[in-house]
Structure 1
Amino acid sequence: MLKQQLRAISSLLTSITLIGICVGMTSTLLSLRATIENFGTLTTGIVMSAYFIGFLFGTTRAPKDIRRVGYIRAFGGLAALAAASILIQAIWIDPTVWFIMRFITGFAISAIFVIVESWLNTMADNKNRGTLLSVYLVLIYGGLVAGQLLLGVADPAGFMAFALVALLINLALIPILISVTVEPTTHEPKKVPIRSLIKLVPLGIFNAFIMQACYSMFYGIGPMYAIYIGLSITQVTLFMASFILGGMLAQAPIGLLSDRFDRRVIMAACAGLGAVMALVLSQLGASLVWLIYLCVGLFGACVLPLYSLGMAHTNDYLEKDQMIGATGAIIKVGGIGSIIGAPAVAALMQFGAVDYFFLLIMALSLMVCFYSLYRITRRARAEDQLSSSYAMLGPSQTSDELLTTLVDEHEYQAEQLAEAEQESQDDAAQKPGSPV
């Protein structure tokens, strides 16, 4: 079943991998370029936070685009918007312009993630949701690592690195636009307010908020922290790549474990170990660079899978038609955490508290650990749901014909049901004493 699902969305996974490469390049590229241009730590933190503000707004737009034009067309339009915003940042080096363009980039990328993750969650069930999301995130993290390595050979002070990002975003359109992948047939998605999710799955919302704050701190300010402790630009790219590589390698094993054991236990273990590694990293300097790479890789292995674990845990308690709205709500909450995270740690660094960078991340990770353990005492593990309610069609030359046949059959059955209901009403009306 899982292999069939992966084949059915192979073009989607290829496209999102290329998007991951671009995201990996962009955050580090802009952080390094802002340092070269002497933007200042606080200004850089505010500029980087614009991405997450846009990320927040994009989550509300994506479900509307899915309903209005479908998954594939929405993906294409948003990817083109992201490519344009990257090129404008290369042409016009100014904090205000960068803030606006980072907002647009975050808007487009977040909407793309909502589209992709909604698509994946709709086709998954509780027995394989953690595994499927882990495969998706392994590809994302693989792209992020590749992006860091590409940035190592492209000068952040020049135009070429920006042009390469825009080129890869445009290439990401090709697999999904020219494939014959059939979009999932879903019910009209229900709106899922954040307040309802807090009551239904509080751990999922808490995890999204805290961990996205940690991610925004690391991606936005991590390169500047690495330079502060004495790493070169090449070492900074390896520092960031080690973090992402650790998360990529751990993603699938941890996802498999979460499908077999209570996800909350796995979340608590990952968050606790991540806090330990953050504490170790806070004590290391540039003289121990290979130890830094090792520890930051282990740190990424612990904390990066927490997003997919929280998402899978949340969807365990939802119906199929709630998943699009819930995905947007979760990413929206994470966006709020991201908006707070990067400027907060940038302000600390601006006022001399640079050494508290990893200690703050440690404290946040411990909060997730303790709350996960608490929730285990408050609620039983989610029961396995039935398989997805729609039939997945693998990409083939006859997919469109088969889809048309299924639609025609569905319409025929609906007509027959309506006729039967009408005949039943007519018979009831002819009986004595039947209501008028």
Structure 2
Amino acid sequence: MLKVLGSSWPLLAGVMLLMVGNGIQGSLLGIRGTLEGFSTYEMSFVMAGYFLGFLGGSRLAPVLIRRVGHVRVFAALGSLISAVLVMYPVAPEVWSWTAMRVLIGFCFSGVYVTAESWLNNASSNETRGQALSAYMIVQMIGIIASQVLLNVGDPSGFIPFILPSVLVSLAFLPILLSATPAPVFDTTQRMGFGRLFQISPLGCAGMLLTGGVYAAMMGMAGVWGMTVGLGVPQISVFVGAMYAGGLVLQYPVGWLSDRMDRRRLILLLSLAGTGVMVLAALMPAVFWLLVGMALLLGGIVNPLYALLIAHTNDFLPKEEMAGASAGLLFLNGLGAVAGPLATGWMMDWLGPRGFFAFIAVLLGGLSAYVLWRMTRRETPPAVPGYHPIAPTASAIAVEAVLDRPDP
């Protein structure tokens, strides 16, 4: 691991600063939008814009990289991110913010594709697994740290927007000044959705549903917090708990995944998540209980993403895994675009409890579908195949994880 950190620290340090900047703006907009008088449904369009841009960036960023190279794409997208971050308080209008969120989602997607392909190229077969594990841990730590910095400055002022802009600008210094050569870029062709559904109906349906859950959690948590009257420190703890849960439970769930029917584990996690969200929707809003539920929800939803990829790969030869996973990630992105919009509608209809109710509906639907699929296909043998993959990872990181030798 020390060898990996020694060779990859500029990239890892830059990614951490990027995640801090991205994590701040995601929560901050939910808070500032409420202060500006935006309705819950209006904020849902703003939050959905990021995931729409991210989905588009995952398709177009490889084209840009092949055309002008990693360094230029990195610098151009980083400049755009930094500029957009300081423009939010200048143009506090719903459709302006939505357009800026689309742009910033596109840019962050391109940055992740660039960083992950760079890290993949800089690693050997022996160190790639450790490098990608370090990359995922750094991502989570950066987002958790961002929630602490959310408390710096008045959310109605400019400082909370200037801070992530500065951090994003600084993030590119260690990367662009590194002596590590930029890699030759290549991507895997996606598997057709028809064939992908034939191979794993559960993988396809599960990715759509978990995309909606993840986007609802991370896009609308700040809006929910302001609606129920939480302060900025409390919102930062609530959102940070969801990411911390994902970091803590990713590896225990992975250990179980390689020793039992993955569908059974998916069912147990989705049922647990449904129960937690139903309780959150019905119980009085006691803050520390809600934080505990956020911790559990994050620990459930983040591993589900990797579990669904591993389950799909159980039915594929090694050479087809990367192409199938690229298709799964695209389906996850489609679900993510719809997640904040549906959450906003549910919160308009049911009030703040709609935030938890929407997540409960999706996880309950996943539970029912898993039960049905378990009656349609034999249990595949339990073999090692789970890899800790975060929902923020691009197809490049997933492909690199799948290409590494199994232990």
Aligned position for 2:139: 140
CA contact (8 A) 2:43 2:223 kept: no
Q: Secondary structure at the match of 2:203?
A: helix
Deviations 1:209-248 (A, max 9, x none): 1112112212222222223333223212211111221112
User: How many angstroms does 1:339 deviate by?
Assistant: 1.8
Residue 17 to residue 184, structure 1, CA distance change in 2 (3 Å): same
Quote the Cα distance in structure 1 between the aligned partners of 2:193 and 2:145. Answer: 35
1:380 maps to a residue whose letter is: P
Deviations 1:124-157 (A, max 9, x none): 99xx97x876654332222111111100223211
Aligned position for 1:304: 302
Pairing 1:158-173 to 2, within 5 Å after superposition: 158-173=157-172
CA contact (8 A) 1:34 1:44 kept: yes
User: How many angstroms does 1:77 deviate by?
Assistant: 3.2
Aligned position for 1:17: 16
Residue 202 to residue 176, structure 1, CA distance change in 2 (3 Å): farther
Pairing 1:336-355 to 2, within 5 Å after superposition: 336-355=334-353
CA contact (8 A) 1:190 1:321 kept: no
User: How many angstroms does 1:271 deviate by?
Assistant: 2.1
Tell me which moved more, 353-362 or 148-157: 353-362
2:168 maps to a residue whose letter is: I
Residue 8 to residue 333, structure 1, CA distance change in 2 (3 Å): farther
Pairing 1:275-286 to 2, within 5 Å after superposition: 275-286=274-285
1:380 and 2:370 are equivalent in the alignment: no
User: How many angstroms does 1:340 deviate by?
Assistant: 1.3
1:85 and 2:59 are equivalent in the alignment: no
Gaps of 5+ in 1: 392-436
Aligned position for 2:225: 226
Tell me which moved more, 344-353 or 241-250: 344-353
Residue 166 to residue 73, structure 1, CA distance change in 2 (3 Å): same
Q: Secondary structure at the match of 1:152?
A: coil
- Give the structure-2-normalised TM-score: 0.81
Residue 198 to residue 353, structure 1, CA distance change in 2 (3 Å): same
1:14 maps to a residue whose letter is: A
Tell me which moved more, 91-100 or 111-120: 111-120
Q: Secondary structure at the match of 1:153?
A: coil
Quote the Cα distance in structure 2 between the aligned partners of 1:79 and 1:72. Answer: 11
Aligned position for 2:196: 197
Match of 2:360 among 351, 362, 367: 362
CA contact (8 A) 1:229 1:285 kept: no
CA contact (8 A) 1:134 1:252 kept: no
Residue 170 to residue 382, structure 1, CA distance change in 2 (3 Å): farther
2:347 maps to a residue whose letter is: M
Larger radius of gyration: 1
User: How many angstroms does 1:55 deviate by?
Assistant: 1.5
2:343 maps to a residue whose letter is: V
Quote the Cα distance in structure 1 between the aligned partners of 2:354 and 2:402. Answer: 46
1:214 and 2:225 are equivalent in the alignment: no
Q: Secondary structure at the match of 1:273?
A: helix
Quote the Cα distance in structure 2 between the aligned partners of 1:68 and 1:321. Answer: 27
User: How many angstroms does 1:318 deviate by?
Assistant: 6.2
Quote the Cα distance in structure 2 between the aligned partners of 1:258 and 1:14. Answer: 31
Pairing 1:58-97 to 2, within 5 Å after superposition: 58-71=57-70, 73-97=72-96
Quote the Cα distance in structure 2 between the aligned partners of 1:347 and 1:187. Answer: 40
CA contact (8 A) 2:20 2:145 kept: yes
CA contact (8 A) 2:259 2:383 kept: no
CA contact (8 A) 2:28 2:155 kept: yes
Tell me which moved more, 196-205 or 179-188: 179-188
User: How many angstroms does 1:289 deviate by?
Assistant: 1.5
CA contact (8 A) 1:135 1:252 kept: no
Aligned position for 1:427: none
Quote the Cα distance in structure 1 between the aligned partners of 2:402 and 2:305. Answer: 22
Quote the Cα distance in structure 2 between the aligned partners of 1:10 and 1:312. Answer: 29
User: How many angstroms does 1:29 deviate by?
Assistant: 0.5
Aligned position for 2:44: 45
Residue 112 to residue 194, structure 1, CA distance change in 2 (3 Å): farther
User: How many angstroms does 1:337 deviate by?
Assistant: 1.0
Quote the Cα distance in structure 2 between the aligned partners of 1:116 and 1:192. Answer: 24
Report the RMSD for the aligned CA atoms in angstroms: 3.6
CA contact (8 A) 1:63 1:328 kept: no
Deviations 1:26-46 (A, max 9, x none): 111011111000011111111
Residue 59 to residue 5, structure 1, CA distance change in 2 (3 Å): same
Pairing 1:182-331 to 2, within 5 Å after superposition: 189-259=188-258, 261-286=260-285, 288-314=286-312, 317=316, 319=318, 323=322, 328-331=326-329
The percent identity for this pair of structures is 32
User: How many angstroms does 1:109 deviate by?
Assistant: 1.6
2:19 maps to a residue whose letter is: G
Q: Secondary structure at the match of 1:305?
A: helix
1:366 maps to a residue whose letter is: G
Aligned position for 1:175: 174
Aligned residues: 387
Q: Secondary structure at the match of 1:93?
A: coil
Residue 18 to residue 265, structure 1, CA distance change in 2 (3 Å): farther
Q: Secondary structure at the match of 2:150?
A: helix
Residue 200 to residue 76, structure 1, CA distance change in 2 (3 Å): farther
Deviations 1:36-93 (A, max 9, x none): 0001111111121111111221121123234445555544433332222222223222
Quote the Cα distance in structure 2 between the aligned partners of 1:85 and 1:245. Answer: 28
Aligned position for 1:335: 333
Residue 177 to residue 258, structure 1, CA distance change in 2 (3 Å): farther
